[in-house]
Structure 1
Amino acid sequence: MKREIKQKKCKSCGRKFALFNSLAQVCSVDCAIQYAKDNKVQEQTRIKLTRITKEKIKTRSEHLRKAQTVFNAFIRERDKNEPCISCGRYHTGQYHAGHYRSVGACPELRFCELNVHKQCSACNNHKSGNIIEYRINLVKKIGVEQVEWLEGSHEPKKYTIEQIKSIQTEYKNKLRELKRGA
């Protein structure tokens, strides 16, 4: 008894073809090329839609975190040739964007460039910002009037998602300009 060869429908052109391989999806090389192109376009469309959907469901705090990351990168790049604001050391270790007034204590100054400076991880993490030395060096850097302004009271800010996105874009552009100029 002769076995009948199973027929399958081509995923590209729709014609029936004899299955020469159990994994075959298309009937010819030309159909395979077209099928691959179509799948690539579909995959790109799917990726784009997924990206848009993920952006739509992001929370305000996720946007803030992303904007803070870009802002901190800008601060590190801006101050890259300066020592740690607290201890005054130059070293090859990790540097942070250290806030004089912390984000927890004064969230309205979170994106204030006067409030944030390059700080070594030892001062920022292990010495809780080394705040006394930070203040002494900050006065030398920006002046006592600016420091007193930072220490004063400020109007609370509740950023909208659109404002946060514009802050992120602004600091991305500033960072790009700094890197170009270097």
Structure 2
Amino acid sequence: MTFRRTRCPHCKGKLEAGQRIHPDCIDGYAEAQAAKAERAEAKKARAAAKVERAETRRRKEAAKRQPQLMAEAQAAFNAFIRARDEGMPCICCGKPFEPMKPGGSVDAGHFRSRGAAGHLRFHEDNCFAQRKNCNRPGGTTYAAFRAGVVARIGEGRVLALEQDNGVHKWTHDELRGIRDHYRAALKELRA
């Protein structure tokens, strides 16, 4: 059993027996239906474009090579270290950081360098906020850096760092995980 329509679909006025739409409303109803179809088509196109952008983003992420992933992971890690040590003095010289300096005034300096101990490049005990001039060659001495690190994390952890001479080859998945972990940690730290 079907119910007969009693109201005009366009103007919502009462219909007489046998009518499906008021004769005066036919043109307006057709225009409204065309506009509705156009909006639905535009919505479909936006959804398809969104899916295409997501697929492009996925393909670009899959095409990234190890150096690019390493750079992204290192940038995320360094940003986290800078935020973690915000408000603390420089690990080497003990001076406060200069605010509002063009290019920033803080580096994430590694106690054991990334070249000498690449397996420790993402170790939080091995990286601290440093003034830019302290992180440059000739900017600080190893003894001053070591004294600052010992004061911050303790002698035992420093000795563990100095004695860790392992080798590690970073995989794509590890680098993506490190990048995502430190981006989330930075967001949580700033919240």
- Alpha-carbon separation, structure 2, partners of 1:130 and 1:42: 58
Secondary structure at the counterpart of residue 113 of structure 2: coil
Map 1:134-173 onto structure 2 (within 5 A).
134-173=145-184
Task: Report the count of equivalent residues.
Answer: 153
Amino acid of the residue matched to residue 142 of structure 1? I
Q: Which residue of 2 aligns with 1:87?
A: 93
Q: Which residue of 2 aligns with 1:71?
A: 77
RMSD: 2.1
Cα deviation, 1:29-62, whole Å, max 9, x if unaligned, reads: 5565344323322221221111010011111222
Structure 1 unaligned runs (5+)? 1-27
Q: Which residue of 2 aligns with 1:33?
A: 39
Cα deviation, 1:148-180, whole Å, max 9, x if unaligned, reads: 222224221112222222222322332233223
- Alpha-carbon separation, structure 1, partners of 2:178 and 2:94: 29
Map 1:93-132 onto structure 2 (within 5 A).
93=101, 94-125=105-136, 127=138, 130-132=141-143
Verify: 1:62 aligned to 2:73, yes or no: no
Larger radius of gyration: 2
Structure 2 unaligned runs (5+)? 1-33
Identity of aligned residues (%): 33
Secondary structure at the counterpart of residue 123 of structure 1: coil
Shift in CA distance, 67/141, structure 1 to aligned 2, threshold 3 Å? same
Contact 1:98 1:129 in 2 (8 A): no
Between 1:40-49 and 1:141-150, the stretch displaced more is: 141-150
- Alpha-carbon separation, structure 2, partners of 1:39 and 1:73: 38
Secondary structure at the counterpart of residue 60 of structure 2: helix
